[in-house]
């Protein structure tokens, strides 16, 4: 595959369709600048500021853009909030739609048949594989990203984090907790 | 189309992950060619030779067995190659020779390194000015239509002919079923887009937890009054 992709890239460059330096720049952007830290910032701010949380509920696109997280696959955002009654989990059964602007590129499992097939029919089985146990009275709401709306899960704030700073709270928010396959949790070292 | 991409509800693919820890450690790329494919396909979008829905249709048109076994970036690569060939931007002779033989096709733009940040920031919004009011309101009962087009659709098989409730009006968005047809369809043909909630029991039967549900974002042409 490496040789085949190199050959295609050099052909596209020779024909004037592609600039390899632009390809490098795109890769670097998603390896170093756009990733789940963006989403963790959104979540921590929502935990700390009720007004921001309300804005996220009303117009997640504007609220997220206000933090500077404006980029492709984040043009139309919806934030869904976990609470005592509902646990949210996001999938794209038809392809790999994912909120790049706040989470970066999706993990391989998110794009692969086991998750895409099972998330909608067996969400509790999937959650168990991630070690995520829910109380019996909590319903699971799965969001299948069939349009250009991109879903960000706002996990519940972990107990015992009163008075924590935004930076400390961000360390509780993993990528997978914002997809909804895990919960936010205090860092093990804390 | 009822292709290999329409995976919701299938069984037999095995576990998603071994553990949450394994997920956290799994790298985003598993081979050197994978990031190159990602970057090439994002970059060549600027050429303007196909739209988002046409690229999705090219991916889901792969033979189902290939779609289900290929790594995801291989799916992207095969679909991009198919689109490049269809639009005569490259030829099979050139792929075999590994060099340019025929003249390039005109393109809208070759994305330069200095334009990457702006292009990523601009993204590709698909909301359009509404020329009519929404046909459904939050709380309305709806029924999805039962269609099996050979062309592109974003109404998955598992949600056809099902009863749901409108939970949000999401805007007036480009309609993929039309947009994927390009010059053979009505273009973007924007439509009202709704979030529709279905109970898990409606979709999968009475063995499901009665508290569980699935939402899909569906355009008005997919919906009838329930």
Give per-residue pLDDT as tens, A84-104: 999 999 999 999 999 999 999
Residues 10-29 of A with CB under 8 A from B: 10-12, 14-19, 21-27, 29
Domain at B219, CATH number = 2.30.30.50
For B10, half-sphere exposure in the C-beta direction (CA atoms, 13 angstrom radius) is 23
Is residue B166 within 8 Å of residue B109, measured between CB atoms?
A: no
Whether B164 and B197 have beta carbons less than 8 Å apart is answered as yes
| ipTM of predicted complex | 0.97
Q: Which residues of B touch A107 (CB under 8 A)?
A: 23, 26, 28
pLDDT at A189: 65
Question: Mean of the pLDDT values across residues A44-70?
Answer: 97
DSSP symbols for A165-183: -HHHHHTT--HHHHHTSS-
From A10, A20, A71, A96, the catalytic residue:
A96
pLDDT given at position B32: 97
Give domain status of residue B20, yes or no: no
Domain that residue B204 falls in? 141-225
* CA distance linking residue A53 with residue B118, whole number of Å: 28
Active site residue A96: yes
Q: Do B123 and A78 touch (CB under 8 A)?
A: no
Tokens of A142: 């799965």
pLDDT given for residue B182 in this prediction? 87
Written as six digits, the tokens of B110 are 């070759």
Write down the pLDDT at residue A43: 98
Rounded mean pLDDT, B137-145: 98
pLDDT above 90 for A121: yes
Annotated domain spans of chain A: 1-33, 35-189
Q: Is A97 a catalytic residue?
A: yes
Tell if the CB–CB gap between B212 and A129 is shorter than 8 Å: no
The 3-state DSSP class for residue A19 equals coil
Decide if B197 touches A, using CB distance below 8 A.
yes
pLDDT, residue A188, reads 82
Assess whether pLDDT exceeds 70 at residue B216. Answer: yes
Question: How is B66-125 classified by DSSP, letter by letter?
Answer: HHHHS-HHHHHHHHHHHHHHHTTSS-HHHHHHTS--SPPPP-S-PPPGGGHHHHHHH---
Q: What value does the mean pLDDT of chain A take?
A: 97
Say if B31 is an interface residue toward chain A (CB within 8 Å): yes
Band (pLDDT 50/70/90 cuts) for residue B184 is confident
Return phi, psi of residue A5, to 5°.
-70, -40
Residue B92 pLDDT = 97
Q: Do A11 and B100 touch (CB under 8 A)?
A: yes
Q: In this predicted structure, what is the pLDDT of residue B115?
A: 97
CB burial readout B172-188, b (16+ within 10 A) else e: bbbbbbbbbbeeebeeb
Please tell me whether residues B117 and B169 are part of one structural domain: no
Asked if residue B131 belongs to a domain, the reply is no
CB A129 to CB B89 under 8 A? no
Residue B162 pLDDT > 60, yes or no? yes
**Is the pLDDT reported for residue A190 higher than 60?**
no
pLDDT tens digits, B32-74: 999 999 999 999 999 999 999 999 999 999 999 999 999 999 9
Q: Is the pLDDT of residue B96 over 70?
A: yes
What is the phi-psi region of residue A16: left when phi exceeds 0, alpha when psi lies from -120 to 50, beta otherwise? Answer: left
Res. B165 pLDDT band, cuts 50 70 90: very high
Q: How many whole angstroms separate alpha carbon B71 and alpha carbon B67?
A: 8
Q: B116 and B45 in one domain?
A: yes
Strand pairing class (B191-199; B163-173): antiparallel
Confidence of residue B120 (pLDDT cuts 50, 70, 90): very high
Find out whether B5 and A95 touch, Cβ atoms under 8 Å.
yes
pLDDT given at position B190: 98
- Pair (B60, B89) in one structural domain: yes
Q: Does B152 touch chain A (CB under 8 A)?
A: no
Return the CATH architecture of domain A35-189.
Alpha-Beta Complex (3.90)
- What average pLDDT is seen over chain B? 97
Could you give the C-alpha distances from B198 to A37, A144, A147, in angstroms and in order?
Answer: 32, 11, 16
Domain count for chain B, please give it.
Answer: 2
Say yes or no: B116 and B171 in one domain: no
Q: Does B167 touch chain A (CB under 8 A)?
A: no
**Residue A36: pLDDT above 70?**
yes
pLDDT for B16 beyond 60: yes
Q: Which residue has the tokens 């992207």?
A: B76
CA distance B218 to chain A (A): 7
| B145 and B118 assigned to the same domain | no
Domain with residue B103: its CATH number is 1.10.472.20
| Candidates A80, A93, A106, A145, partner chain B, best to mutate (most B CBs within 10 A) | A93
| Distance (Å, whole) CA A60 – CA A74 | 10
Amino acid B9: pLDDT: 98
Q: Are A68 and A46 in contact (CB under 8 A)?
A: no
If asked whether residues B90 and B46 sit together in one domain, one would say yes
Q: Rounded mean pLDDT of B184-207?
A: 96
Nearest by CB: A111 against B72, B84, B127: B72
DSSP A65: H
Q: Are residues B115 and B146 in the same domain?
A: no
**Residues B4 and B68 sit within 8 Å (Cβ to Cβ):** yes
How do beta strands B191-199 and B213-219 pair?
Answer: antiparallel
pLDDT value of residue A154: 98
- Residue B70 sits in the same domain as residue B114: yes
In the three-class reduction of DSSP (H, G, I as helix; E, B as strand; rest coil), residue B165 is classed as strand
Contact A100, A74 (CB under 8 A): yes
Q: Check if the beta carbon of residue B62 is closer than 8 Å to that of residue B70.
A: yes
- Look at residue B73 and tell me if it is in a domain: yes
């Amino acid at each position: 595959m490496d040789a085949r992709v190199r050959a295609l890239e050099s052909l596209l460059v020779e024909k004037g369709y592609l600039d390899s330096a632009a390809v490098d720049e795109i890769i670097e952007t998603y390896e170093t600048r756009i990733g789940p830290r963006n989403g963790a910032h959104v979540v921590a701010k929502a935990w700390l500021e009720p007004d921001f949380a309300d804005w996220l509920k009303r117009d997640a696109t504007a609220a997220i853009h206000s933090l500077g997280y404006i980029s492709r696959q984040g043009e139309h955002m919806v934030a869904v909030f976990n609470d005592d009654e509902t646990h949210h989990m996001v999938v794209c059964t038809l392809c790999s739609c994912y909120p790049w602007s706040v989470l970066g590129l999706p993990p391989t499992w998110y794009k692969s048949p086991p998750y895409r097939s099972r998330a909608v029919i067996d969400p509790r089985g999937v959650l168990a594989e991630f070690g995520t146990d829910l109380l019996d009275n909590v319903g699971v709401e799965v969001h299948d990203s069939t349009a250009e709306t991109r879903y960000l899960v706002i996990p519940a704030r972990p107990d015992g984090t009163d008075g924590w700073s935004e930076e400390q709270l961000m360390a509780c928010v993993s990528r997978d907790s914002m997809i909804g396959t895990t919960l936010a949790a205090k860092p093990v070292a804390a | 189309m009822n292709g290999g991409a329409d995976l919701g509800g299938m069984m037999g693919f095995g576990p998603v992950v071994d553990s949450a820890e394994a997920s956290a450690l799994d790298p985003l790329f598993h081979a050197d060619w994978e990031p190159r494919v990602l970057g090439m396909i994002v970059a060549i979008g600027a050429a303007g030779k196909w739209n988002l829905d046409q690229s999705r249709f090219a991916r889901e048109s792969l033979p189902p067995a290939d779609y289900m076994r290929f790594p995801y970036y291989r799916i992207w690569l095969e679909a991009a190659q198919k689109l490049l060939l269809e639009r005569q931007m490259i030829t099979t002779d050139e792929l075999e020779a590994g060099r340019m033989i025929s003249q390039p096709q005109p393109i809208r733009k070759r994305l330069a390194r200095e334009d990457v940040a702006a292009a990523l920031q601009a993204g590709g919004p698909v909301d359009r000015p509404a020329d009519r009011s929404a046909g459904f309101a939050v709380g309305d009962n709806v029924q999805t239509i039962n269609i099996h087009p050979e062309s592109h659709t974003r109404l998955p098989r598992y949600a056809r002919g099902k009863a749901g409730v409108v939970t949000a009006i999401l805007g007036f968005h480009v309609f993929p079923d039309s947009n994927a047809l390009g010059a053979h369809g009505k273009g973007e043909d924007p439509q009202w887009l709704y979030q529709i909630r279905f109970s898990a029991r409606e979709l999968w039967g009475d063995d499901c937890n009665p508290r569980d549900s699935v939402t899909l974002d569906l355009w008005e042409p997919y919906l009838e009054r329930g």
